[in-house]
A and B are shown apart, each in its own frame.
Chain A
Amino acid sequence: AQSVTQPDIHITVSEGASLELRCNYSYGATPYLFWYVQSPGQGLQLLLKYFSGDTLVQGIKGFEAEFKRSQSSFNLRKPSVHWSDAAEYFCAVGPAGNMLTFGGGTRLMVKP
């Protein structure tokens, strides 16, 4: 069975600081990996996804993520955080008949 762990429930960073959100997955084959962002009371928006090829993936809003097979990780990074990045971030793994399994989420707070 596939699973996703996001070890950090909450993270607080200062505006302008760098950010790394951790994601570890368990999956038997080469995974398809996704990062979504959710603003309060809203749906989820795709930030980026990895299927194959280059292990460093660029996404929207200046985010990137790196797939590390040896560590079963897909960490999300941003070099300089903006106040508008405050939201909840979800890592997900698939397929399994294109069913996604989501992590528990990491809530990001940004200090001015």
Chain B
Amino acid sequence: DGGITQSPKYLFRKEGQNVTLSCEQNLNHDAMYWYRQDPGQGLRLIYYSQIVNDFQKGDIAEGYSVSREKKESFPLTVTSAQKNPTAFYLCASSIPSAQETQYFGPGTRLLVL
């Protein structure tokens, strides 16, 4: 079955630690996205990538980094510079056209110890 997988489902971060969230898709989509979800604030775009080896900052990129070495993978690193990382993180993918639907993964909940 085609889809988007995110791992882990829950992730705990210690102070000063970098953590990496995984996102993999087998939909053959060129575009991939990372969103952060906080209660009452909807989804906010962190980073997006329209093609392999290229990515752009979204609205709230500070304290995050990404890479796009393979079409099917778009990992997100939450760095120690992100002072309020506790949130639900959602990955999505699409064909890079305005009329195309974004498909979402099941999400990763990041908690700070």
B99 lies within 8 A of chain A by Cβ: yes
Cβ-defined contact, B104 with A44, below 8 A: yes
Contact: B43 with A90, CB < 8 Å?
A: yes
A103 CA / B41 CA spacing, docked (Å): 8
Q: In which size bucket is the chain A interface?
A: 20 to 34
Residues of B within 8 A of A94 (CB): 98
Instruction: Label chain A's interface by main secondary structure.
Output: loop
Q: How far is the CA of A102 from the CA of B38 in the complex (A)?
A: 12
B20 nearest CB across to chain A (Å): 19
Q: Which residues of A contact B6 (CB under 8 A)?
A: 43
We find that the number of chain B residues with CB closer than 8 angstroms to chain A is 29
Q: Which of B42, B88, B97, B101 contacts A103 (CB 8 A)?
A: B42
Are B107 and A42 closer than 8 Å at their CB atoms?
Answer: yes
Q: Is B90's beta carbon under 8 Å from chain A? A: yes
Indicate whether A99 sits within 8 Å of B99 (C-beta atoms), given known contacts A43-B90, A104-B40, A105-B40: no
Do B43 and A102 touch across chains, with their CB atoms under 8 A apart?
Answer: yes
| Neighbour of A34 across the interface among B4, B101, B107, CB < 8 A | B101
CB within 8 Å of B: which residues of A? 4, 6, 9, 32, 34, 36, 41-46, 49, 51, 90, 94-95, 97-100, 102-105
What are 12 A-to-B residue pairs whose CB atoms are below 8 Å? A36-B104, A41-B107, A43-B6, A43-B104, A43-B105, A43-B107, A97-B98, A98-B31, A98-B98, A100-B45, A105-B40, A105-B42
